[in-house]
Amino acid sequence: MSFFADRNHELHVEDVPLSRIAEQFGTPCFVYSRAALTAAFQAYDEGFGAHPHLICYAAKANSNLAVLDILARLGSGFDIVSGGELKRVLTAGGDPQKVVFSGVGKSETELREALATGILCFNIESESELQRLARIASDMGCTAPISLRVNPDVDARTHPYISTGLRRNKFGVSVEDALRLYHYAHRTSGLRVTGIDCHIGSQLIELAPMQDAARKVVSLVDKLAKEGISIEHIDFGGGLGIRYTDEAPPDRGQFVQMLLSCVGDRQYKIMIEPGRSIVGNAGILLSRVEYLKHGQEKNFAVIDAAMNDLMRPALYDAHHDIRTVRGKKAAVAVYDVVGPVCETSDFLGTDRALAIAEGDLLAVMSAGAYAMSMSSNYNTRPRAAEIMVDGSSVHLVRARERIDDLYAGEICLPD
Ligand SMILES: *Cc1c(COP(=O)(O)O)cnc(C)c1O
C-alpha cells in the first residue's frame, strides 16, 4: 500500500504525516487517500478497455459525500441499497442514469422516489417486489427499467455472514424462478427488462466461485435471448476481496479479464458493483493509546477507537493490521488492542506485538470499507471525524459528531 507508507520513520498518507492529522483534528478519525481511491477505480476501468461497461461503486461500503464525489468525477456509477443512499449520491453529484438500486426490502416510498429520479435500473430481488414496482410504475404513468438478481447457488467460500449467493441466503431469485419472472416482466406494462445481475458475497479471494456464477448468469442470458427476451447489460455485482493481512485476492484487472472472457463476443454492456475493493485499502482508522494495562494473562492497549467505529472485528472476527505511527523506543509487548466500549467483543485486534507507550498513535489499516458506514453511537460515543488527503492537502470531509447532536431528537416525558 504505497499510499500509506513510512517516511522518515513516520507513517504518512500520501504526503501527509499522520501525527499532523491527529494534532489538527483529534482522534479517533478516519483518514482516506484520494490517490488510492482513484487508482482502485481506474484499475477496474482500464481493465475493461474498449468494452462497453459501467462501474457502479457500492455506496454502502463508504458513503461519505467526498468519496462519492471523487468517484462520480471519475465517471463512476453507483449501486445503492436505500433511499438514503440515493439522496447521498445525488447530493454528491452522481448521475442518476448511472444508479442501480439493489436490496431485498425496497419500500414503496423508496421505489417511488427512485422512479421519479429516473435511475438506470432496479435490481429486483423477489416476485413481490417486481409486482409492487409494476403497480407503482403504472400508477405514476412511467416505465421501470428492471434487472433480476439471480442467485446462482455457488459457494463464495467467504465468511458466512457475507456470503449471499447460496439458495439458503435471502438474496435474489433462483435461476428457475428468474426465467418465469422475466417472462412476466416482459409482458407487464410498467416494466422494461434491461438487464440481469448477481452478487454472490463479499471479501472473495478466489476467482473460481465468481467465474462459476458469471458462467451461470451468461448461460441464463443466452436462454433468455432464445426465448425472445433480450437485455442490454449484465451486472456481475461486487465482492472482490482485498488484502487485510496476507490474503492474495486476484487483482482487479484479472477479475475484469475473467468477466470479459465469460461474456466473449456477446454484445452486452458489462457492469460491476465493487465496494470494498475500491475503498477498503484507501482508508485507515487513526487512534491514540489511552492506557496500557498489563494483566496476569494478557496485556491490553486501550485506545480511543472502539467497536462502534469499526465493528468488523466484533462482527466477523475480521483481522485489521495495526501499525504504530512513529517508530518508538518502547519495548515490544503483545497486546490485545481494545476500545472503551463495555463489551468483551470490543477489540480492534488481538495478540499484536507492538512497541508502544501511552499517548502514542496507532493506525488500524484497511479501514476504508464497512467501517464508518457501519459505525454506531453505542455508549453515546460521537462518530469519528473523516479526513481526505489529496497529495499534501488535507480536507475535513465529515466533522466529528458533537455529543448534543446524539440526543437532539430525543424527548423526555411531560410532567
Ligand atoms: C454490498 C454489495 C456490493 C458490494 O460488495 P463488495 O464486497 O463491497 O464489493 C455489491 N452489490 C450488492 C448487491 C451488494 O449488496
- Rounded to the nearest angstrom, the distance between the alpha carbon of 123 and the centre of ligand 1 is 12
Numbers of helices and strands, H then E, in the chain: 12, 20
φ/ψ of 265, rounded to 5, equals -95, 15
- The pLDDT, as a whole number, for residue 162 is 67
Please give the single-letter amino acid code of residue 264: G
- Distance of CA 226 from the midpoint of ligand 1 (Å): 30
Rg (CA), the chain: 23
List residues with catalytic annotation.
342
- Does the reported pTM lie above 0.95? yes
Question: Which of 119, 127, 124, 90 lies closest to 104, judged by CA?
Answer: 124
CA-CA-CA-CA dihedral for 389, 55, 398, 342, to nearest 10: -110
Residue 23 CB neighbours (<10 A): 11
Q: Residue 309: which of 241, 234, 370 has the closest Cα?
A: 370
Asked if 143 and 192 touch (Cβ cutoff 8 Å), the reply is: yes
Which of 202, 206, 277 gets mutated to test ligand 1 (max ligand atoms within 8 A of its CB)? 202
Return per-residue pLDDT of the chain as tens, 415 residues: 489 999 999 999 999 999 999 999 999 999 999 999 999 999 999 999 999 999 999 999 999 999 999 999 999 999 999 999 999 999 999 999 999 999 999 999 999 999 999 999 999 999 999 999 999 999 999 999 999 999 988 877 777 766 676 777 778 899 999 999 999 999 999 999 999 999 999 999 999 999 999 999 999 999 999 999 999 999 999 999 999 999 999 999 999 999 999 999 999 999 999 999 999 999 999 999 999 999 889 999 999 999 999 999 999 999 999 999 997 778 999 999 999 999 989 999 999 999 999 999 999 999 999 999 999 999 999 999 999 999 999 999 999 999 999 999 999 999 9
Q: For ligand 1, which residues put their CB under 6 angstroms from it?
A: 58, 60-61, 79, 102, 199, 202, 237-239, 273-277
Cβ-count burial 365-397 (b if 16+ within 10 Å, e if not): bbbbbbbbbbbeeeeebbbbbbbbbbeeebeeb
d(CA 320, CA 285): 10
Query: Ligand 1: which of 55, 57, 62, 199 to mutate, most ligand atoms within 8 Å of CB?
Result: 199
What is the pLDDT, as a whole number, of residue 109? 98
For residue 82, report the distance from its CA to the centre of ligand 1, in Å: 13
